[in-house]
Structure formats: structure tokens, C-alpha cells
Chains A and B, each alone.
Chain A
Amino acid sequence: MASPATQVDPAATPGAPLMEVTDLVKHFPITKGLLRRTVGHVRAVDGVSFTIGAGETVGLVGESGSGKSTVARLVLRLLGPTAGSVKFDGREIAGLSQRELTPLRRNMQIVFQDPVSSFDPRMTISSVITEPLEAQGISSGKQARDRAAELLDLVGLSGRDLDKYPHQFSGGQAQRIGIARALATNPRLLVCDEAVSALDVSVQAQVLNLLRKLQVELGLSYLFIAHDLNVVRYISDRICVMYLGRIIEQGPAEAVMTDPQHPYTRTLAGAIAADPRTGGGTRRVVVRGEMPSPSNPPSGCPFHPRCPQAFDRCSTEVPAPLPAGEGGRTASCHLLDITPTNGKAVR
């Protein structure tokens, strides 16, 4: 690893990941009373590490409240982290000021779940797309408009749509515009936060195809957040599974989904409905209970109160990520750490 003290030039570190997140923490204070005393913390993100390579898609999955959207906002520095490091292209961005961040922002963009509500209804599509170009001082006027037309073409719409308003488009078309806007500044990383979740099935497939086409053509990296595990599995090269602010398992997408090593990933994978074309009749594995609140996480392993395989050590000691297979797989589970000295037969 490069020395953390030096500001590394991207060209100088070939093969380095585009984004490197290390021990990222975000605690939100819980305040109470007139003086807004801090009475506790919501540990939304509690020590998360992962990397995204150039041209790679990393899927982030987990139940609501697991911290995946907070991670998305932290890596884009839409939120400041409590602790930890976020390196983009070898450069530390966790401590940068808003002013220092501005030139970096063109490299990292986000696509939201509901594009229509993220557009100003009184702005034409042309203004929606050229706004980031002007904000970044990349281009303006006719030049920016030409770029907007080019972008619409790229996402399967047409330059004829430039003077229309957001409400004139269907949900799928609006999401294409959201993607065009995010691509305006030629970013290298696109964060897709539930970007296809609100779309109809027939249209969702179109947008997934578009995202993959753009990745091949433009060499984009994606951080892809979605609650639909089949969607994440289809689009991702690697998957990180989050639970209560921690990544409890990560590795190549197929391996994680077909041969999960963490009991939580196993229950998550088991909770996916079967392919409907088999005709149904199969029931899913049902895991009991719900994810506890991140303001009052359990001791030890965050999953132990719901885990069918938990043993005494799980309630006292937080499991560290352990190697769990090829392709840099890790899983944070004491079951992977069973040795003659500390282990006991559990399975």
C-alpha cells in the first residue's frame, strides 16, 4: 500500500483502486431537550472498508437501516465522516473542505431513486443536464446544450427532448435523464442509490441494460445500491453485504450469492423469491426477528440475536473480517475462526 503521508498521483500507482474506503465511521448524535444535549449516537456506519476498481461494479446490499445509503453519501462527501479514510484515485478526500472538493465532484456523481423529484419541475431538460456543466465551469451556452443533446442520445433519448419539462416523461425516461445529468461531467464513478428500484419491471431491464452499456463504453465504475438482490447480483462484479453499519461479508458477486459464508448472507440469499418461471409453490427460508436499531446495537456480533448458529463468543466479541475464499472474499463471523484452542463444534 502507498504511504498514507504522500499525496499520490494516480498515474504513479497503476492498479490502485479508483476508490478505497478504510474504517469509515459515521455516528449521528441523538439530542434531547431544550439544550439539545447529546444523549447517544446512531451508529449508522461503524467501520466499513472496501474498494472499487476502475470499470468495476460493487453492489452494496442490506436491509433498510443497515447504513448503505449513508455509505453512498459519505463516499461522495455529501456527508462528512466521523472517522476513517476515503481515497479517490489515491487522494484522501475525507478531510477536504467543500471548496477543495468542488473540482473532484465532477469525477463522482450520483443517480437517485426518484429522478423526477430530484429535478426542478420548472427547468427544461436542457437546463437539468447543463446545470452541472455550468456549476463545474466546464462549458456553457451552445456548447453545453450540444453536450446535453449528445448525452440524451447516449442514454437512448433524443436531442428533440431538450426543451421539454420533466413531467412530460415516463418514469423510465426520467431515469435516463437522471443518468444523462450524472454523466454530464464525464465522471469516473457513478453511485446508483436504488436507481432502478422505483421502475416497472419492463423498464427496469432497459435501464439496467443502459447502465451496463455505458460502463463498457465509458469505463465507468459503479457503486450500486439496491434492495433487490437479483438485480444487484446481475449487475455487480463484487458484493458487500451490510448489517447494522458494518460490512459482514464481501466478495465476488456469484460466489457470495451462491455460497454465502456469513449466516446473515445465507438468510438474505434464502429470503429471495425463487425464479417465478419455475411455477412457484416453493416457500422461502424465513428468518425470525428484525434488524435492531443502530442507536442501540447488540454487543458482539451485530447479527447474533437473530443468528441460528450463534454461540457464547458471538455476544461478547465483535468478529473481524476473516478470509473466506478466493477473490479476496471475507466474512466477519466467529464460525470461520474455529481452531482447536478457541473453537467449538457448532454446525
Chain B
Amino acid sequence: MHPQPLLEVDDLHVEFSTADGPVEAVAGVSFTVGAEETVAVVGESGSGKSVTALAVLKLLDGGRISRGQVRFDGKDLAPLNPKAMRKVRGNDIAMIFQDPMTSLDPLYSVGHQIVEALRLHRRVTKRAARERAVELLEQVGMPDPRRRLASYPHQLSGGQRQRVMIAIALACSPRLLIADEPTTALDVTIEAQILELLHDLQREYRTAMLLVTHDMGVVAETADRVVVFYGGQVVEQGPTAQVLRNPQHPYTAALLAAIPHPDSAKERQLPAIPGAVPALRDMPAGCRFNPRCAMAWEACTHEVPPLYELPGGRTSRCLLHREGGGSAVVAPPAPPLSAELAPAGPPLTTRKGI
């Protein structure tokens, strides 16, 4: 274990104000990222994983941290003003997004944008910044880097744009890189290239990484530890290999089972999770996963499970652990193709107005 974590997210709550009143997108999330460590935050849409990543950099559009702390190097970022935050962003903590086309400025050349990032945080001449930009493009595997300085984002492929984003993110050698679905928009062969690149650069720059993804395959390949989100909460966390091989929370187990993989038996259905991810405004009482959980019992519908500490530095938010833990969590078996399908679940709006 690392003596002092680089990033400590501590009981984070994020609220968005909407026309129908405030909704809580993140409800008491805690986890840490150690120096040079890669931590994956994994979850489905609406789980709060991206909001958490944005909250670390205080890039919440229309939202605010309503409770809790985000400590970077021991210092809480939550109370910092916009000017102080701008010094942190790009310098100490950098971020890359799923769609580089929307985060790169279409009106400026690639070179201009890298130089701008460098000169924002470092006192360097334009000429030196340009030389450094060439160097960075070369490091991220851009073919013909010097000529590419003059290219505009639309002239590049999706993979090349993501390389430019990575070059900008690394320009000031940040200590923490937040990558929000960095390969989701890319083809599988390009995804493999970008993940390899991130891995290599992380070693070279000794950067920690907080990787936000929905893809368990990407988690398995890159992360030292994994934090599983559901309904704005952490439901399970621990070292990646242990969590993936032997999940302790029924949601983690069911999610892993639902992914088609090379050995999926074609004569069976995929073991789907019934229902849909709950809407923020419509969180079930008790355990937030209970309406979809194959192992839920009566207590799960009204009792909120705490995060139980398990051996091996793991935690899991499930009442199954109450009696001392370790009870076997198994994913539901795959039903034969002829069996009834998992129900689609009630429409999300049925509870409205009651």
C-alpha cells in the first residue's frame, strides 16, 4: 500500500439542480489513487462515474460538490476558487475525454493547441514550446510529427486525435491523468494501440491514472485496482484481478456474466440483468441494486447496506456480508435459449406522481 495516496475522494456528494429540484448524481463516494497507480472506475450509464471524474477537476456543468472532500496530495480541492483550480488543471491533474473532436478546438492547428497548453503553465518561449510539441507528438506515436503541427483536428483520424489529446494532457507532466472513456469511440485495433501508449507513457512520466470506463475488458487490461459504481455509489472495490476473478457484490458478478465472451455458449441465453439502470430521481429504497438482484431478499428492499470491509483490501456494499462476510456470490446461470427472457423491467416513469 502507498503511504499517502495522491488522490483521496472522501464521501463525495454531487448535486445537480434541475427544473424539478436538485438531484444527487454521486451519493457518498470514497476511493483513493496512489502515486503511479492506475485505478479504474467502472459502471454503466448513470452510475455517477463520469460525474465523479469531473468533480475531481471541478468541471461540473450545472452541478456542485454538496458534501465531502477531494484531496490531492493532502490538500482539499473542493473549496478552491476558479483561478486556483486553473493552476491545478493541466499542471497537476490532466484529463482526456472520450471524444477528442469536441475537446480539441476545430479553429486552431494541433501545434497551436499544444503550445498553448505548455505556455499556460510553463514559462517557455514559443520556439521552445514548438520544439517540445514536436517531441510530444513523436512520443504519442504520431507519424510525421513536425508536419502534423500544422494539421487541424478534422484532418486527423479518431485515433490520431486521441494521440493529440494525450500529448496535450502530458505537456506539463501531470502527476495524475484522468481518462474518461478514452478508447470508447475507437476501433478495437486502435483501442489496443492507445491503451498500450497510455501504459508506456504512464511509466515514463510516472503518472497516476484514474480511468473511467464501462468496459470490463479495458479494466482487466490496465488497472491495478477497480472501483465498481452503481446508482451513484461505490458497490465494490479492490485489486483488479481479485475483484474480476472472484466478485463479492452480486452486481459485479452479474455484470461480468452478462458480457459475451469467446466461450459464451451459443445454445444458451446470455445471463442478462433484468430491468434497467435506475434513474437518479427514482432510486430504489434499501440497496439500490435490489430490484434487479437475483440474490435480494426482504431486508434488501429497505435496509441500506454499508460498505463492508473484506480481506485483501476489498470492500463490498451488500447485506450478504453482514454475518462476517465471504458468502459465495454467484452470477445467475445462463438460461437455455428456449427459456423466458429476463423482463425489460417497468418503465422508469411508473412511480411518477405517486
Q: Among A88-96, A126-134, A142-150, A282-290, which stretch is in contact with chain B? A: A282-290
Which partner residue on chain B sits nearest A210 by CB separation? Answer: B341
Residues of B within 8 A of A284 (CB): 192, 195, 221
Query: What 0/1 pattern do residues 21 to 57 of A give for CB contact below 8 A with B?
Result: 0000000000000000000000000000000000000
Residues of B within 8 A of A204 (CB): 258
Which partner residue on chain A sits nearest B239 by CB separation? Answer: A279
Contacting pair B341 A206 (CB below 8 A): yes
Query: With A173-B344, A279-B240, A280-B221 in contact, is A272–B188 under 8 Å at CB?
Result: yes
Q: Is B274 an interface residue (CB 8 A)?
A: yes
Contacting pair B159 A290 (CB below 8 A): yes
Which partner residue on chain B sits nearest A282 by CB separation? Answer: B221
Q: Is A274 an interface residue (CB 8 A)?
A: yes
A271 CB to nearest B CB, Å: 5
Contacting pair A276 B256 (CB below 8 A): yes
Q: Is B164 an interface residue (CB 8 A)?
A: no
B207 CB to nearest A CB, Å: 19
Contacting pair B277 A271 (CB below 8 A): no
Which partner residue on chain A sits nearest B218 by CB separation? Answer: A273
Contacting pair A205 B216 (CB below 8 A): no
Q: Is A76 an interface residue (CB 8 A)?
A: no
Among the interface residues A169, A200, A278, which one has the most CB atoms of the partner chain B within 10 A?
Answer: A200
Bound CA span A85–B345, Å = 44
Query: With A205-B258, A275-B263, A281-B241 in contact, is A64–B158 under 8 Å at CB?
Result: yes
Q: Is A229 an interface residue (CB 8 A)?
A: yes
Contacting pair B342 A206 (CB below 8 A): yes
Query: With A203-B276, A205-B270 in contact, is A230–B260 under 8 Å at CB?
Result: yes
Bound CA span A336–B269, Å = 37
Contacting pair B277 A213 (CB below 8 A): no
Bound CA span A173–B343, Å = 10
Top 8 A-B residue pairs of the complex, sorted by shortest distance between their CB atoms: A273-B217, A280-B220, A205-B272, A279-B241, A202-B273, A205-B270, A276-B216, A234-B260
Residues of A within 8 A of B125 (CB): none
Q: Is B231 an interface residue (CB 8 A)?
A: no
Q: List 15 A-B contacts (CB under 8 A).
A: A63-B188, A155-B344, A156-B341, A173-B344, A201-B258, A206-B342, A209-B272, A227-B188, A234-B260, A275-B262, A279-B245, A281-B241, A283-B196, A286-B192, A286-B193
Contacting pair B256 A277 (CB below 8 A): yes
B156 CB to nearest A CB, Å: 10
Q: Is A176 an interface residue (CB 8 A)?
A: yes
Q: Is A135 an interface residue (CB 8 A)?
A: no
Residues of B within 8 A of A227 (CB): 187-188
| Additional pairs, 12, CB under 8 Å, beyond known A216-B338, A283-B221 | A156-B341, A156-B344, A170-B277, A170-B345, A173-B344, A201-B216, A212-B337, A268-B189, A274-B221, A279-B220, A279-B242, A279-B244
Q: Is B44 an interface residue (CB 8 A)?
A: yes
Q: Is B259 an interface residue (CB 8 A)?
A: yes
Contacting pair B189 A63 (CB below 8 A): yes
Contacting pair A280 B240 (CB below 8 A): yes
Residues of A within 8 A of B127 (CB): none
Interface residues of B in 125-142 (CB under 8 A from A): none
Query: With A161-B347, A206-B344, A276-B244 in contact, is A213–B272 under 8 Å at CB?
Result: no
Q: Is A257 an interface residue (CB 8 A)?
A: yes
Q: Is B295 an interface residue (CB 8 A)?
A: no
Residue total for A at the interface (Cβ-Cβ under 8 A): 58
Residues of B within 8 A of A157 (CB): 344
Query: What 0/1 pattern do residues 92 to 121 of B give for CB contact below 8 A with A?
Result: 000000000000000000000000000000
Q: Is B261 an interface residue (CB 8 A)?
A: yes
Residues of A within 8 A of B215 (CB): 273
Bound CA span A221–B15, Å = 47
Bound CA span A287–B215, Å = 21
Query: What 0/1 pattern do residues 206 to 240 of B give for CB contact below 8 A with A?
Result: 00000000111111110100000000000000001
Q: Is A322 an interface residue (CB 8 A)?
A: no
Residues of B within 8 A of A276 (CB): 216-217, 219-220, 244, 256, 259, 261
Contacting pair A170 B214 (CB below 8 A): no
Interface residues of B in 40-92 (CB under 8 A from A): 44-45
A69 CB to nearest B CB, Å: 13
Contacting pair B349 A168 (CB below 8 A): yes
B55 CB to nearest A CB, Å: 22
Bound CA span A318–B55, Å = 53
Residues of B within 8 A of A228 (CB): 188, 260
Q: Is A178 an interface residue (CB 8 A)?
A: no
Q: Is A231 an interface residue (CB 8 A)?
A: yes
Query: What 0/1 pattern do residues 172 to 193 of B give for CB contact below 8 A with A?
Result: 0000000000000001111111
Query: What 0/1 pattern do residues 241 to 284 of A give for CB contact below 8 A with B?
Result: 00000000000000001100000000110011111111111111
Query: What 0/1 pattern do residues 148 to 176 of A give for CB contact below 8 A with B?
Result: 00000001110001001000111111001
B274 CB to nearest A CB, Å: 7
Residues of B within 8 A of A230 (CB): 259-262, 264
Bound CA span A157–B256, Å = 25
A292 CB to nearest B CB, Å: 10
Q: Is B17 an interface residue (CB 8 A)?
A: no
Bound CA span A280–B270, Å = 21
Bound CA span A230–B216, Å = 13
Bound CA span A270–B196, Å = 14
Residues of A within 8 A of B271 (CB): 205
Residues of B within 8 A of A83 (CB): none
Bound CA span A257–B349, Å = 42
Which partner residue on chain A sits nearest B348 by CB separation? Answer: A170
A307 CB to nearest B CB, Å: 13
Q: Is B4 an interface residue (CB 8 A)?
A: no
